[in-house]
Amino acid sequence: MAYYEKRGESWRAQIRRKGYPTLSASFDTKAEAQRWAAEIEGDMSRARFVDIREAESTTLAEALKRYQSEVSAGKKGEKQEKVRIKKWTDSEYANKSLASLRSSDMAAYRDAELKGGKSTATVRLDLAVISHLYTVASKDWGIEGLTNPCRAIRMPKGSKQRERRPTSEELKTIYKLAADMNPELPVIIELAVETAMRRSELVMLRKDQVRGKVAYLEDTKNGERRSVPLSSRALALLEGLPTPIAGGRYFHLKADTISNYFPLVCEKAGITDLRLHDLRHEATSRLFERGFTLMEVASITGHKTLAMLKRYTHLSPHDLAEKLG
């Protein structure tokens, strides 16, 4: 027998049936509560009942703590995900049970964050943590009766793709001023433009990974090995560095230090709206402009899909016009 009670802005449904545990859940409307109760009672009648007591007794904060320990710890983006998890555990939803967290909660969070000025990418990544948590809790932890609260909501549309490409003069100025800040910095920046390698891949590059005209990367963002052909300019830049001991790393700068230095160099040069990651965009676009095929570029840059590759590619309209004749 199901009982319904209005509590504030929500409706609480409770089911009591002989031979089964007492169950309860909260919903935005009475109609949703009635549908839930009808489904549960129907499952009980057909001996298909799913015990959701663990889902009801586990709070979002508790689940996220386990998720961080068991799942995030194995990710390359552990540091960034840890920040997002803390944001959720400090939120008003932290003490809600996994069973009671609703799509309306996620939609409210989405709208509040966007209204507060957060980028669509940030909001999507925040919601992705919750979505993956529910997948793991259901499939790996065996918590029954879960409904992913992110599945039914509208995700914010992706942010506008950046089309900012540095000019040759801007790059020359950046190389010169970067050298004043740290002698390794201009080499790293120019290698990013020459190779399309990521910041983390460059700072971890070792001499024993460079064989002939190819850099064999072992630890990439997506976890897959990648071979990056090196231009004559890239080879010259590496050969101009002090010889690493025992085939060790070329650079001593840390990834975060490079990210902090780059905007300072741009500010000093009077260059606006240019980010470090734009150099990877620039390198990728140059590869296409030099006539490399889609598969060849993907092999060099490590992009897995055409959609991902397209997002980072902006061909020069002037060069395309020249090809038209």
Look up 312 and say whether it is catalytic: yes
- Is 199 marked active-site? no
Which one from 84, 102, 199, 280 is the annotated catalytic residue? 280
211, 266 Cβ separation under 8 angstroms: no
Q: What is the DSSP string of 202-262?
A: HHT-BGGGEETTEEEESS-TTS--EEEE--HHHHHHHHTSPPPGGG-BS----HHHHHHHH
Catalytic residue check, 281 = no
Distance (Å) of CA 216 to CA 91, 245, 249, 299, 311: 43, 18, 13, 12, 25
From the candidates 164, 221, 252, 290, give the one annotated as an active-site residue: 221
Active-site residue identified among 198, 199, 226, 286: 198
Tokens of 24: 């309860």
User: Would you call 303 a catalytic residue per the annotation?
Assistant: yes
Catalytic residue among 30, 165, 277, 311: 277
3-state secondary structure of 98: coil
Name the CA dihedral angle for 122, 79, 187, 260, rounded to a multiple of 10 degrees. Answer: 70
Q: Has 35 been annotated as catalytic?
A: no
Please enumerate in sequence order all residues whose Cβ is within 8 A of that of 188, keeping only pairs 6 or more positions apart, or say none: 199, 202, 203, 251, 253, 258
198 labelled catalytic: yes
Place of tokens 């840059």: 301
Burial of 125 (0-12, 13-18, 19+ CB in 10 A): middle
Spatial CB neighbours of 302, under 8 Å, sequence gap ≥ 6? 220, 221, 222, 224, 226
Q: Could you tell me whether strands 23-27 and 210-211 are parallel, antiparallel, or unpaired per DSSP bridges?
A: unpaired
Nearest to 164 by CA among 82, 275, 45, 52: 275
> Of the listed 84, 226, 303, 314, which one is catalytic?
303
Residue with tokens 């060849």: 296
Q: Which residue numbers are catalytic?
A: 198, 221, 277, 280, 303, 312
